[in-house]
Amino acid sequence: MAAHGRAILHVDMDAFYASVEERDDPALRGLPVIVGWTGARGVVAAANYVVRRFGVHSAMPMGRALALCPQAVCIAPRMAHYKAVSRQVFAVFEDYTPLIEGLSLDEAFLDVTASRALHGDEVRIARAIKAAIRARTGLTASVGVAPNKLVAKIASDLDKPDGLTVIPAAELPGRLDALPIRRLPGLGRKKGDAVERAGLRTLGELRRAPDALLWRLFGRDTRRMRDRASGIDDRPVVADREDLSISAEETFDADIADPAQMEAGLLALADRVSATLRARRLAAGCIAIKVRRADFATFTRQQQLEPPTQDSRVIGRASSDLLHRWRAEQPRARVRLLGVGASALAPATQLDLFAAGSVPQPPALDATVDAIRKRFGAAGLTRASGLPAGPRKLTR
C-alpha cells in the first residue's frame, strides 16, 4: 500500500468470550461453545466457530440457539475476566498508536497513518499487532487494513478467524463490488431485505443503481449509501477519552518552604511527565501544576502550550513559570505536595515531528535520557535541575 493517505486498521478478536473460555479450559476445544445466560430471556453473548456451523450466532435468544444445537456447552459470561483480557489486547494497540477507538471489549479502530514512519507500513503493523496479541493472550484477532474505517471494518470480517485482509485505496471501489450487500455495516436486516427485493444483491449493484431506485430505498441517505457502497468514508478515528491527561505528583516527607527546593521538585515531575509523553508519542497542548499547602488547601494553575510539545525543557519552563506566579501570590506558603499534569494531548509521532509547523523534534538529550531510563529504570538518571538544591548526597 502506498505510504501516503490514511491507514486505518479494524482489529476484531475472533469469537472473543468463547475463545477466552476455550483457552482457559482446553477440554472445550472442538466442542460447540456458547457464552451466555441460559433461561427464558437469555441471549447468546458469544458463539465459537464450532457452534456457528449449527446456525448459532451472537445476540440470538438462548432458547433458539439450544434448539439449533442441543449439545452446545453453555458457559455463563465472566465479564470481569474478559475485561482484563481486553486490557491486554488494547495495551498491544497502544504500542503502535495513541489513536485507538474502542467499539467494544474485543474490537477497535486504529489510525496508524503516522505510525508508519516508526513501525513500517500498515500491513507490517497489522501483522505485528496480530502476533503480539497471540503472544500475550494466546488468542487470535482478524484485522482489516484500509484507507478508512468503513472499508477496514468490512475487510476484517472477510477472512475470520485469524484473518488479515488488506484493501488498498487503489483497489476501491472494485474490491467491494462482488460483496453481498449484507457485508455493508449498519445496513439493518429489514433494510437489507428491501434492498435485495429491489434486485440489488452486491455492493457493485448498489453503487451503480439509478438514483430513482436508491431514493426509494434510502431517501435522503441515497448519496451516503452510494458512497458507502463505493468504500468512501471520511470519518476520523476518535481516540477513547480515558487518557485525557498525564500527570505526576509527589508528597514531600516534610513540608517545604524553600523556593529552590520547590522548583527542583517541580522540575523532576515535569521531567517525568515529558518522558511519559515521549514514551506514548504524545504532545501536550496544556500544562498544569498542582500545589497543596501544608494546611491541605490545594491550588492549580495552567497554561496553554503552542505548539504542543513533549520537550522536557519547555514543559519544565512552563511548570516553573506557573509556580513562580503562584508563589508571588503566596510567598510564605509551605508546600506538602506538588504535581505536574499534561493535557490537550495530541499524537506526536515521527511523522508529525518532521511536518512543518508541527511538533518540534525532541532534543537529542531527551532521547538519551529516555534510552538510559529504559535500560536502567527511572531512578537511573536524574537531571541536575531535578536534584534538590544545596549539598547533595547521590545515594540511592
Distant-in-sequence contacts of 381-387, Cβ < 8 A, 24+ apart: 382/268, 382/271, 383/267, 383/268, 383/271, 383/312, 385/264, 385/267, 385/271, 385/316, 386/264, 386/265, 386/267, 386/268, 386/271, 387/264, 387/268
Distances (CA, A) of 24 to 18, 92, 150: 10, 20, 33
Is residue 46 classed as helix, strand or coil in its secondary structure? strand
* Residue 147 CB-density burial (10 A; 0-12 exposed, 13-18 middle, 19+ buried): buried
Closest CB to Mg ion among residues 1, 164? 164
Asked if 101 is an active-site residue, the reply is no
* 348/359 Cα distance (integer angstroms): 7
Residues in contact with Mg ion by CB under 5 A are 12-13, 16, 106
Tell me how far apart the alpha carbons of residues 125 and 96 are, in angstroms, rounded to a whole number. 8
Q: Which is nearer to Mg ion, 21 or 106 (CB)?
A: 106
Q: How far is the CB of 12 from Mg ion (least distance, A)?
A: 4
Which is the catalytic residue, given 107, 171, 205, 263? 107
Work out how close the CB of 52 gets to Mg ion at its nearest, in angstroms, rounded to a whole number: 12
CB of 91 to Mg ion, least distance (A): 18
User: Is 309 within 8 Å of 342 (Cβ atoms)?
Assistant: no
Q: Of the two residues 106 and 271, which places its CB atom closer to Mg ion in the complex?
A: 106
Cβ-based nearer residue to Mg ion, 12 or 311: 12
Q: Which of 103, 371 has the CB closer to Mg ion?
A: 103
Shortest CB 243 distance to Mg ion, Å: 23
Cα 15-154-352 angle, rounded to 5 deg = 105
Q: Of all helices (H) and strands (E), which one includes residue 12?
A: strand 8-13
Give least dist CB 194 to Mg ion, A.
27
Among all residues, which ones are annotated catalytic?
107
